Amino acid sequence: MKLIVGLGNPDAQYFNTYHNLGFKCADKVAAILGAEFKKEKFRAKLAETGSGDKKILIAKPLTYMNLSGESVKEIVAFYKLDLKDLLVIYDDYDLNKGFIRIRESGSAGTHNGMRNLIKELGSGDFPRVRIGFKPDEPSVIPLIDFVLSGIKEEDKPLFEDATTRAANAAAEFARGAEVLSLVQKYNGRK
């Protein structure tokens, strides 16, 4: 079984913000795999496809970004998942906008949602897809406000492409692709 988790915030006011790039990817992964978000369980919206050990679960935690780990921990524990079968997709201010960075494991960096996730899971040894949104010019807005600000109109095509590439990488992971092959294929910016 594979678990794909997109990080974000559940309220409509956050839909078009940088902090919801993970949710946007989760929606795209579900569409690629022919799944729909029909269930709410483990404090998350869930979409699933496949069966048995070929089951794929896509989750959007409803705990808000900074407590994402609480929901993911429940899912991982219930299904007794090995962390190598978990892929987390999230926004990352430490990467330039539109860049994709896939890794087999790592730290949380400056991301509070990932900090909570790593704390709750007790490990950072799980694959992740980071979508950069660092602006070309330094932001005058505090980071806490910037991550919740709306994506600029002129940047929407760039982020549409980035979330599509991230979702394609996640779908390939869900179907069994090795993380290193995804790194070679998707890392960077188109």
Name the residues annotated as catalytic: 19
Tracing tokens 């095509």 back to the chain, one arrives at: 157
Adjacency order of strands within the sheet including 56-61: 37-41, 44-49, 56-61, 2-6, 86-96, 128-134, 100-103
| 44-49 vs 56-61, strand pairing mode | antiparallel
Strand, helix or coil for residue 166: helix
Q: Tell me the one-letter amino acid at 134.
A: K
**Contact partners, residue 56, CB within 8 Å, separation at least 6:** 1, 2, 3, 4, 33, 35, 48, 49, 50, 174, 175
Q: Which residues of 101-121 are buried (b: 16+ CB within 10 A; e: fewer)?
A: bbbeeeebeebbbbbbbbebb
CA angle in degrees (0–180, nearest 5) for 15-164-154: 60
